[in-house]
């Protein structure tokens, strides 16, 4: 190749390379565009909304759609919304973990271990935390199955034990919890976190209790005649406390009057759940209440919605075991933990704490 032909050959090679560069750039931008579209497009879950009472239309709009936000966990529970930083926390009980979900950021591990801190392998299936809530200072409070206690996560990452014994005996496995506006914490204590549940040889208490932990740290047993207490929530005026019983022989949402001293009286069935009994998830689980006192209850198959007078207004059918709920965003978005996945649905109702 002589000197005169070199520039021509170089120009030919340059011309040949240009289309390749353009193609590569186009492919790159196409890939980025597709990924961006995937990120902003929600995964819509199959669901059916049954409307049994016209009052439901004020709570669930006609275009309400259930979105699946993440999947692939083992058994999710205890969702809670962080109102200061706008993210969702939820427990994956078998994985002994708390995960975080945030718009635009997806899912990340928030805390592990979350409910069992022992060095020996956990003998049961549910070592992790269950219910989660925030105190008035924004600290995370956990119902811990494996360690059989209520604990608070401090800002430096340490945990403070708030309650682990009643009358000198270890709690069963705290399940769900809710703060009263005066700072008192109410929680349920079934044995579902124990390896053999009701028949576990390590079970020290002969009953399944509902407790109040005062802001001063005094633990009071409020109820001990519920076979399997589970979800717990207050009415908007805090004059009523709702508790679910997942006992297969009863399966119901219960309601109690809250007395001036914080104790409970006049327990009764608020709504029967026997039509949704489905082993092994035999009854109603966690639930939340809106500003008007309507109860949104997770149960096998989906969410049942009840008016303050106990009338069943309708349901959001998800099609699988549904464990718990949390109000988020501006208070009108209901986040749902169900089986291996988390969902959300935008409603016209607004959470009682917003």
Q: What is the pLDDT along the chain (354 residues), one digit of tens a residue?
A: 444 444 444 443 444 454 544 434 333 433 333 333 333 445 555 569 999 999 999 999 999 999 999 999 999 999 999 999 999 999 999 999 999 999 999 999 999 999 999 999 999 999 999 999 999 999 999 999 999 999 999 999 999 999 999 999 999 999 999 999 999 999 999 999 999 999 999 999 999 999 999 999 999 999 999 999 999 999 999 999 999 999 988 899 999 999 999 999 999 999 999 888 777 656 899 999 999 999 999 999 999 999 999 999 999 999 889 999 999 999 999 999 999 999 999 999 999 989
DSSP assigned state of 206? S
Exposed, middle or buried by CB within 10 Å (0-12, 13-18, 19+), for 288?
buried
d(CA 244, CA 323): 12
- Quote the pLDDT of residue 118: 96
- Quote the pLDDT of residue 248: 84
pLDDT digits (tens, 9 = 90+) for 113-163: 999 999 999 999 999 999 999 999 999 999 999 999 999 999 999 999 999
Quote the tokens at residue 270.
């608020």
DSSP 61-83: -TT---EEEE---S-EEEEEEET
CB 296 within 8 A of CB 302: no
Residues 6 or more apart from 81 whose CB is under 8 A from it? 87, 88, 326, 327, 328, 329, 335
Which CATH architecture describes the domain 42-346? 6 Propeller (2.120)
d(CA 145, CA 96): 9
- Quote the pLDDT of residue 62: 94
- Quote the pLDDT of residue 41: 40
Q: How many CB atoms lie within 10 A of CB 145?
A: 32
**Domains of the chain by residue range:** 1-41, 42-346
CB 135 within 8 A of CB 121: no
CB 70 within 8 A of CB 92: no
CB 244 within 8 A of CB 287: yes
Residues 6 or more apart from 281 whose CB is under 8 A from it? 246, 300, 321
- Quote the pLDDT of residue 283: 83
Q: How many CB atoms lie within 10 A of CB 43?
A: 13
Cis peptide bond N-terminal to 113, omega within 30: yes
Name the residue with tokens 């005094």. Answer: 218
Cis peptide bond N-terminal to 280, omega within 30: yes
CB 322 within 8 A of CB 285: yes
d(CA 285, CA 77): 10
pLDDT digits (tens, 9 = 90+) for 172-183: 999 999 999 999
């Amino acid at each position: 190749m002589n000197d005169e032909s070199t520039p021509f050959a170089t120009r030919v090679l340059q011309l040949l390379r240009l289309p390749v560069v353009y193609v590569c750039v186009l492919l790159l931008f196409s890939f980025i565009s597709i990924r961006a579209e995937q990120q902003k497009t929600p995964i819509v879950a199959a669901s059916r909304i049954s409307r049994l009472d016209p009052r439901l239309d004020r709570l669930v709009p006609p275009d309400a759609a259930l979105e699946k936000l993440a999947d692939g966990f083992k058994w999710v529970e205890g969702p809670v919304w962080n109102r200061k930083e706008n993210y969702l926390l939820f427990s994956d009980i078998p994985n002994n973990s708390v995960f975080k979900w945030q718009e635009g950021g997806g899912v990340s591990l928030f805390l592990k271990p979350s409910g069992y801190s022992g060095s020996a392998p956990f003998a049961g299936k549910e070592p992790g935390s269950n219910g989660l809530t925030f105190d008035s200072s924004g600290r995370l409070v956990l119902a811990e199955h494996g360690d059989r206690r209520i604990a608070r996560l401090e800002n430096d990452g340490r945990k403070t034990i708030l309650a682990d014994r009643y009358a000198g005996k270890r709690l069963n496995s705290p399940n769900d919890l809710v703060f009263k506006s005066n700072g008192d914490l109410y929680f349920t204590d079934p044995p579902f976190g124990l390896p053999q549940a009701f028949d576990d040889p390590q079970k020290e208490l002969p009953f399944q209790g509902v407790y109040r932990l005062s802001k001063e740290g005094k633990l009071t047993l409020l109820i001990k005649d519920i076979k399997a207490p589970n979800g717990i929530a207050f009415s908007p005026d805090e004059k009523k406390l709702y508790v679910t019983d997942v006992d297969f022989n009863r399966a119901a949402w219960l309601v109690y009057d809250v007395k001036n001293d914080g104790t409970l009286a006049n327990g009764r069935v608020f709504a029967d759940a026997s039509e949704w009994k489905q082993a092994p998830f035999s009854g109603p689980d966690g639930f939340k209440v809106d500003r008007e006192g309507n109860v949104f209850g997770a149960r096998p198959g989906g969410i049942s919605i009840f008016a303050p007078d106990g009338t069943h207004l309708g349901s959001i059918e998800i099609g699988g075991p549904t464990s718990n709920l949390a109000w988020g965003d501006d208070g009108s978005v209901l986040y749902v933990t169900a089986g291996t996945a988390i969902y959300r649905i935008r409603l016209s109702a607004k959470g009682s704490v917003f």
